[in-house]
Amino acid sequence: MIRCEEIMAWVRELDLVYQSNKASLTELDAAIGDADHGINMVRGFSAAAKELSEQTPPDIGAILKALAMILMKKVGGASGPLYGTFFLKASMTCNGRTSIGAEDLVVLFEAGVAGIRQRGKAKEGDKTMIDAWEPAVRAMREAFSGGGDVSEILRAAVSAGESGRDATISLAARKGRASYLGERSRGHQDPGATSAVLMLKAARDTLA
C-alpha cells in the first residue's frame, strides 16, 4: 500500500537524486543538447521538495498535481512541460485517494506516460525519454499481470527503463534538440531517458 507519506518520500528522494546527478545529466545534455538538463531538474525538484514539505496537500492526487504545477513553472526547457504533464495526468488517476495499491500504481504510470507521449509526440526509437518510459510501463503491466507486488513492479520498471535508456546510445535522435545533430547524436546516451530512469529508481527506493 502506497500512502501520502511514501509519495512525499519519493519527491524528497527525487530532489536528492537530481542534485547528485546534476553534473552528469548536464554533461550528457552538453554532448547532444544545450547543457541545461541537470540544472533544470534540480531547480524544479528542489522547489517541489521545499514547497510540498511546507504545505503538504491532503491526498495523493493533490500532491502529484501540486508537483506538476511546480515543475511546469520551475523547470523550463522541454522537460518542464513533459514531466509536468506526466505528474498532472498521473494525479488524475488518484484524485482524493490517500492510499493506492499495485494496480493503481501501474495505472498512474501508464497515464503519466500517455501524457508525455501526447505532449512531446515522440515515439520509441526517437532517442528521447520515451525510450525509457514505454518499456518501463509495459514491464510494470506485465509484472502486475504476473502477480507481482509494488516492489516487483517497480523493479521490473527500473530494469526495463535501464535497457531502454542504454539503447538510446546507439540511436540517432529524431526529436528534441539532439535531432539537429542527426547521425552525430549516435554514441551518446539520451539525457531525458537518463533522468526518467532516475525517477523510476527513486520510486523503487521509496514507494515499495
Partner 1 sequence: MKKLMNDPGDLVVESLRGMEAAHGDILRVSYEPAYIVRADAPVRGKVGVLSGGGSGHEPMHGGYVGPGMLGAACPGAIFTSPTPDQIEEATRALDGGAGVIYLVKNYTGDVLNFESAAELCVSAGIPVETVIIDDDVAVQDSSFTAGRRGVGATVLIEKIVGAAAERGMGLAEVTGLARTLNEEARSMGVALSSCTVPEAGKPTFDLGADEIELGIGIHGEPGRERRTIRPARELVEYMSEAIFSDLPFHRGDSIIVLLNGMGGTPLIELYLLYGELERVARTRGLHIRRRLVGNYITSLEMQGFSMTALRSDDRILGLWDDPVHTASIRWGS
Minimum CB distance to partner 1 smaller for 132 or for 156: 132
Q: Quick one: which segment of 2-10, 73-81, 89-97, 100-108 binds partner 1 (CB under 8 A)?
A: 73-81
Q: Quick one: which segment of 36-44, 90-98, 103-111, 131-139 binds partner 1 (CB under 8 A)?
A: 36-44
Site membership for partner 1, residue 120 (CB under 8 A) = yes
Q: Quick one: which segment of 75-83, 101-109, 140-148, 197-205 binds partner 1 (CB under 8 A)?
A: 75-83
Site membership for partner 1, residue 61 (CB under 8 A) = no
C-alpha 110: how far from its chain's center?
12
Site membership for partner 1, residue 35 (CB under 8 A) = yes
- Full DSSP string of 123-184: -TTSSSTHHHHHHHHHHHHHHHHTT--HHHHHHHHHHHHHHHHHHGGGPPP-SSGGGGGGGG
Binding residue for partner 1, selected from 177, 186, 205, 208, defined by CB under 8 A: 177
User: d(Cα 150, Cα 105) in Å, to the nearest integer?
Assistant: 8
Site membership for partner 1, residue 74 (CB under 8 A) = yes
Distances, alpha carbon 177 to alpha carbons 28, 69, 110, 114, in Å: 13, 24, 25, 21
Q: Within the chain, where are the H helices?
A: 4-20, 22-32, 37-54, 60-74, 79-92, 102-120, 130-145, 150-167, 191-207
List the grid coordinates of 177: 534538440
Binding residue for partner 1, selected from 7, 17, 18, 43, defined by CB under 8 A: 43
> Whole-number minimum distance, CB 84 to partner 1, in Å?
8
| Non-local CB neighbours of 173 within 8 Å, separated by 6+ positions | 32, 126, 127, 128, 179, 181, 182, 185, 190
Site membership for partner 1, residue 179 (CB under 8 A) = yes
> Whole-number minimum distance, CB 62 to partner 1, in Å?
19
Site membership for partner 1, residue 181 (CB under 8 A) = yes
Residues forming contacts to partner 1 in the complex (CB under 8 A) are 26, 30, 33-36, 39-40, 43, 72-82, 119-120, 173-177, 179-182, 184
